[in-house]
Homo-oligomer: A and B are copies of this chain.
């Protein structure tokens, strides 16, 4: 069951400049940064609020580390902006399988590693009214299901 808005993923050309904008303008500070080589991005997570499922909602800033990464290609085509949205669940495996069974394209056979030790998968935007949609089980939630 999807129980929160986990994050909004925003593609940017320079992670430090964009993080500085969010800190200066809104007071949102970077909690965590990492490189996800598989995704070809550098990420900064800005924690915005806690959620009533025991999790939290973040802004995730994404800077491509390779032009041929998915985010790099998207940025070249669209410019900076909202790249995807993510819903949190205790059971990304079960929920993504149930959604796949409805005929929606799930991009990975099995969930992969996301920010801060999470497990993630993506749904095809053309099957989701134009929205690239991620499902996330946070590290703290893993092992809490089933």
Contact = CB atoms under 8 A, between A and B. Distances in A.
Interface of A: 1-5, 8, 10, 12, 18, 21, 24-28, 48-53, 57, 59, 79-82, 85, 87, 99, 102, 104, 125, 128-131
Nearest to A98: B25
Contacts of A102: 24-25
B21 A2 contact: no
Contact of A8 (B1, B5, B18, B21): B5
17 contacts: A2-B27, A2-B28, A3-B49, A4-B48, A4-B49, A10-B129, A12-B130, A18-B129, A24-B102, A48-B87, A49-B51, A52-B52, A57-B57, A80-B129, A80-B131, A81-B131, A82-B85
Nearest to A80: B130
Where chain A touches its partner, the secondary structure class is mixed
A8 B57 CA distance: 12
Contacts of A59: 5
